[in-house]
Structure 1
Amino acid sequence: MVKLTTLHAAAALALAGSAVARHSSPRLHNRQSSGSIMESDYSNGATPPGARPGDAAGQTVVIDNDGGHDDNSQRNGCPTIFIGSAAVGGSFSTGWTDMPQVLGFDTMRDLTVGNNVVQPYIIETGKDASKIKRVVITQPGLPRDYWKYANLVRNSLLCASVNSTMGVNTDEILIAAPTWFSTNDASAGSAQSNDLVFNGGNWATGVNSAGPNGEAISSFEALDDLVNKFFDKSTYPNVQQVVIAGHSLGGSFTQHYAMLRKANSAQDGMMSYFIGNPGAYVWPTSDRPIPNPGGNCASTADEWGYGLQDLPPYGNGQGSASSIASRYYGRNIMYALGLSDNEAGDSHCEAQYQGTSHLTRGQNFQKELQSANNGNVPSSQQFNYVPNVAHEDYLIFSDPNSQHFLFAQGSSSGSSSSSSSAAPSSTGRGRTSTSSSGAQQTGSTSQSGSSSSPSSGSSSGALSLISPTSAVSAVLASSAALLALVL
């Protein structure tokens, strides 16, 4: 039976936030105003730290009672601020009219991926490249809203940075996000004449671009080049981990990339993939859980996008489907799934062979991994089932198990008391955890008491209730921003 560590975590963080607020004098409040990340130091609509002239509208401090369910507020129990998403002109269907200046990020055009072809991306500003140990590269959703997802992951990092069990040092973590422009964005004005552009959502499956100037370049190739930039020791000498992270269509993109990314012996052990609530999966075998879902796509259900047949040009020379699947089984992956995510997901006929919703497709994919690996999820992969969360981006990214995978797992400065250090399941391989809306869990395979999770077992909580004084001490010790309070 899962222990109720949720209350412990939420209480500790809430006590920390309220204690800081109670002990803040006006002079201390003024000293915090330029750099504090604590919600107690702000009012709704206030200007966040790091704001610059030219930042797009909408990026103010959001303080409300939605608890993250609107993807535009901080999750319950976390005392740090939530920074709102940038406002952008145009639309994802007609094209975005501009690249917003994202608060705390710089827009970069120094990545050349073809013959005078540029892949723009954004990157956190003001961080010392020599101190960076981990880079989290976020992917957009269906609207190509890279600014939103970089911001969501940044808000989750702020939250994680004051959780003493995480051991997160924000100075050592860098968030970046590529822009996957469509031809509509070029027409609307956000993409420049030499920027890489794709037809519609083709960026999400790694097929070749639609230009510019007739250039045919896979989004996977462009992402390879971005990853290489962060592994370049001349610029980032201490990078230990690069995490590719996405939710919804961004989760599908991440899973597609993890499946087809070319082997790289120098990098593969330092690569991780965070796959949140994808609409559908690339299935590693020709088996499907739903044999006759209807429709007339039986002949294409195993083609690329849903299976390993008829690969795009990026997949040329990568061997047989079984060898690609075998390589995939060795990759470090977290699948983060909301236990209330009953949305239909990808509506294409081919996706119906995988299940009827985001959740059931994820559960079926876990069973497929077990079936293909002697009854076990591969030891380098884990499923994180998040209770009381539907298709909600921020609550998936800011779940403590997710935070540990994104920001701490595999880092020398990261805490070991979290899901990444969980004891093997009863099968001895793989992990399944069920988060408890604030509990960081360790131990063998666990579930929430719902039949939704395909595995069962026991778990133990890694967070324990601490006194208000201890909570404040832990928060002050774990956040560089908060150290300014006592200087």
Structure 2
Amino acid sequence: MVKVASFNAAVALALAGSAAAGRSSRLHNRQSSGSIMQSDYQNGAAAPGARQGDAAGQTVVINNNGGHDDNSQRAGCPTIFIGSAAVGGSFSSGWTDMPQVLGFDTMRDLTVGSNVVQPYIIERGKDAAQIKRVVITQPGLPRDYWKYANLVRNSLLCASANSSMGINRDEILIAAPTWFDTDDASAGSAQSNDLVFNGGAWATGVNSAGPNGEAISSFEALDDLVNKFFDKSTYPNVQQVVIAGHSLGGSFTQHYAMLRKSNSAQDGMMSFFVGNPGSYVWPISDRPIQNPGGNCGSSFDQWSYGLQSLPSYGNGQGGASSIASRYYGRTVMYALGLSDNEGGDSHCEAQYQGTSHLTRGQNFQRALQSANGGNVPSSQQFNYVANVAHEDYLIFSDPNSQHFLFAQGTNFAATASSSSAAASSTAARSSSKGSSAAAGSATGSGSSAAPTSSQTSSSGSSSGGASSLVTPAAAVSALLASSAALLAFVF
């Protein structure tokens, strides 16, 4: 018996040492292969995938701001947040360069019009043949495409650590077009053959300002980018393409969804994420506010606030009623912060829609219900997010938003990739708690009235699922029990 006890003690010590070494090895391996878990990093550390030449600012952010500064991870999510790229110049005077965005490649292989290039960025290192879902992000007013691609990437990291979401981030690809304006061409970021617009004209689908006199709608250029991802010769397994934006990017997305031309091969695989837009293109002529002031009584229903006087992209698409009818069949999420009381679009025409981002969204929901027999169209939903103002990251990373952006309508592989599986396993062991995006929340689809500020469709944190992992201690106990049984048999 002394021999057995001594042998078991030796086994226990050896296994304990092996377990400690294993934990150290696993930690090293996770870091080497690009861990996304906060527990593997310190604030300011180099982010996974970092390369020489990446723009400054793109380090790991770990703090307690909870996403309210648009530069930190939301509360309860165990994954890292990668900071936004620093860029020279300004949106008012023009950007001086296209930043090298960590984990993304800058592409100039999309030609629109006559030898005109529409640049875009795309996640690096993902296998095109494995991609099932593409999220194309839109910039905000500053044309900061790098920021929004990064925000959605950070939300994807968070979502991939939530086992209840059921996604594989290796099968999701993020891309972002640039939408340069003429100031960017003067400042240096746009090259001589890049598509450029006057001011914010890109956001409404009107024609470009060049180069060389070329008049091309941003919607036409986006159509071409969408076509690239539906090209089966390069992306044979794509099931869904999502257009996503917040603020002016959300307005752009809603306008594009309204006016996008019919495409029977693609329409069932397209969806649109509209976050806190400053204004909408209204599908009906009625407005909730009458005579709000100003001198636009004859233009409040014209494009880009209504369906009259359409830009050239809308030629041949029929009248307002047919365009609106087509829009009602499109898959759209409107994600609105219940604390977003900012005024938004200050133009006279926007005042007919309401007084803030939130009230305009609520009024737009009522307009959809009025035009569709009292219900929001069945393919559309409103996600009212509690305790969130005009905060883009908290809109993108809300669990309901994540489900719409990354999961809805996509059949992911049964076996997740090693990176996603590692994230899910670690998240399952974390202490964060929250609600699943797929259960327990009403998002407003088909509801009879827009929510008030006391109602919400989602919680403020994401959750990890249950885990069946065997702990090192349990493994030691099991092995000791087995060795004891074996030794009892031998002796």
Aligned to 1:248: 247
**Kept after mapping to 2: 8 A contact 1:119/1:222:** yes
CA RMSD of superposed structures (Å): 2.5
Q: Once the two structures are superposed, what CA deviation does each residue of 1:429-466 show, in whole Å capped at 9, x if it has no partner? A: xxxxxxx975535367468xxx97159999899x9998
Alpha carbons of structure 1 residues 198 and 437: separation in structure 2 relative to 1, 3 Å: farther
Where do 5+ consecutive residues of structure 2 fail to align? 1-19, 415-432, 471-491
Aligned to 1:485: none
C-alpha displacement of 1:29: 2.5
Aligned to 1:33: 31
**Kept after mapping to 1: 8 A contact 2:165/2:437:** no
Q: Once the two structures are superposed, what CA deviation does each residue of 1:195-226 show, in whole Å capped at 9, x if it has no partner? A: 00000000000000000000000000000000
**Kept after mapping to 2: 8 A contact 1:387/1:437:** no
2: CA distance, partners of 1:184 / 1:23: 56
Aligned to 1:370: 369
**Kept after mapping to 2: 8 A contact 1:134/1:173:** yes
**Kept after mapping to 2: 8 A contact 1:338/1:389:** yes
**Kept after mapping to 2: 8 A contact 1:56/1:88:** yes
Aligned to 1:296: 295
**Kept after mapping to 1: 8 A contact 2:302/2:310:** yes
Q: Once the two structures are superposed, what CA deviation does each residue of 1:355-401 show, in whole Å capped at 9, x if it has no partner? A: 00000000000000000000000000000000000000000000000
Q: 1:169-180 maps to which residues of 2 (within 5 A)?
A: 169-180=168-179
**Kept after mapping to 2: 8 A contact 1:284/1:308:** yes
Q: What is the DSSP-based 3-state SS (H/G/I as helix, E as strand, rest coil) of the residue aligned with 1:336? A: strand
1:112 partnered with 2:77: no
Aligned to 1:222: 221
Could you tell me which amino acid in structure 2 is paired with residue 371 of structure 1? S
Aligned to 1:440: 437
Alpha carbons of structure 1 residues 460 and 159: separation in structure 2 relative to 1, 3 Å: closer
Aligned to 1:393: 392
Q: 1:41-440 maps to which residues of 2 (within 5 A)?
A: 41-413=40-412, 438-440=435-437
Could you tell me which amino acid in structure 1 is paired with residue 140 of structure 2? G
Alpha carbons of structure 1 residues 456 and 373: separation in structure 2 relative to 1, 3 Å: farther
Could you tell me which amino acid in structure 1 is paired with residue 318 of structure 2? G
Q: What is the DSSP-based 3-state SS (H/G/I as helix, E as strand, rest coil) of the residue aligned with 1:137? A: strand
**Kept after mapping to 1: 8 A contact 2:329/2:379:** yes
Q: Once the two structures are superposed, what CA deviation does each residue of 1:243-276 show, in whole Å capped at 9, x if it has no partner? A: 0000000000000000000000000000000000
**Kept after mapping to 1: 8 A contact 2:36/2:157:** yes
1: CA distance, partners of 2:385 / 2:52: 38
**Kept after mapping to 1: 8 A contact 2:386/2:456:** no
**Kept after mapping to 1: 8 A contact 2:383/2:458:** no
Alpha carbons of structure 1 residues 379 and 168: separation in structure 2 relative to 1, 3 Å: same
C-alpha displacement of 1:25: 3.8
1: CA distance, partners of 2:52 / 2:105: 13
Bigger CA radius of gyration: 2
Q: TM-score normalized by structure 2?
A: 0.83
Q: TM-score normalized by structure 1?
A: 0.84
Aligned to 2:481: none
Could you tell me which amino acid in structure 2 is paired with residue 164 of structure 1? S
**Kept after mapping to 2: 8 A contact 1:62/1:83:** yes
1: CA distance, partners of 2:458 / 2:209: 51
**Kept after mapping to 2: 8 A contact 1:408/1:414:** no
Q: Once the two structures are superposed, what CA deviation does each residue of 1:16-42 show, in whole Å capped at 9, x if it has no partner? A: xxxxxx998443322222211001100
2: CA distance, partners of 1:71 / 1:270: 30
**Kept after mapping to 1: 8 A contact 2:366/2:450:** no
Alpha carbons of structure 1 residues 73 and 384: separation in structure 2 relative to 1, 3 Å: same
Where do 5+ consecutive residues of structure 1 fail to align? 1-21, 416-435, 475-487
Q: What is the DSSP-based 3-state SS (H/G/I as helix, E as strand, rest coil) of the residue aligned with 1:388? A: coil
**Kept after mapping to 1: 8 A contact 2:398/2:458:** no
Report the more deviating stretch, 191-200 or 22-31.
22-31
Percent of pairs with identical residues: 80
Work out which structure has the larger RCO, using CA pairs closer than 8 Å and 6 or more positions apart in sequence.
1
Alpha carbons of structure 1 residues 456 and 329: separation in structure 2 relative to 1, 3 Å: farther
Alpha carbons of structure 1 residues 392 and 24: separation in structure 2 relative to 1, 3 Å: farther
Q: What is the DSSP-based 3-state SS (H/G/I as helix, E as strand, rest coil) of the residue aligned with 1:269? A: helix
Report the more deviating stretch, 226-235 or 436-445.
436-445
**Kept after mapping to 2: 8 A contact 1:445/1:456:** no
Alpha carbons of structure 1 residues 173 and 206: separation in structure 2 relative to 1, 3 Å: same
**Kept after mapping to 2: 8 A contact 1:138/1:178:** yes
Alpha carbons of structure 1 residues 81 and 301: separation in structure 2 relative to 1, 3 Å: same
Q: Once the two structures are superposed, what CA deviation does each residue of 1:66-110 show, in whole Å capped at 9, x if it has no partner? A: 000000000000000000000000000000000000000000000
Could you tell me which amino acid in structure 1 is paired with residue 133 of structure 2? R
Alpha carbons of structure 1 residues 90 and 465: separation in structure 2 relative to 1, 3 Å: closer
**Kept after mapping to 1: 8 A contact 2:137/2:176:** yes
Could you tell me which amino acid in structure 1 is paired with residue 95 of structure 2? W
Q: Once the two structures are superposed, what CA deviation does each residue of 1:288-334 show, in whole Å capped at 9, x if it has no partner? A: 00012111111110010100010000000100000000000000000
Q: What is the DSSP-based 3-state SS (H/G/I as helix, E as strand, rest coil) of the residue aligned with 1:328? A: helix
Could you tell me which amino acid in structure 2 is paired with residue 405 of structure 1? F
**Kept after mapping to 1: 8 A contact 2:121/2:177:** yes
C-alpha displacement of 1:347: 0.4
Q: What is the DSSP-based 3-state SS (H/G/I as helix, E as strand, rest coil) of the residue aligned with 1:220? A: helix
Alpha carbons of structure 1 residues 59 and 464: separation in structure 2 relative to 1, 3 Å: closer
Could you tell me which amino acid in structure 2 is paired with residue 453 of structure 1? P
Could you tell me which amino acid in structure 1 is paired with residue 222 of structure 2? L
Alpha carbons of structure 1 residues 209 and 236: separation in structure 2 relative to 1, 3 Å: same
Q: What is the DSSP-based 3-state SS (H/G/I as helix, E as strand, rest coil) of the residue aligned with 1:442? A: coil
1: CA distance, partners of 2:53 / 2:214: 33
Q: 1:455-474 maps to which residues of 2 (within 5 A)?
A: 470-471=466-467, 473=469
Alpha carbons of structure 1 residues 159 and 397: separation in structure 2 relative to 1, 3 Å: same
1: CA distance, partners of 2:458 / 2:247: 30
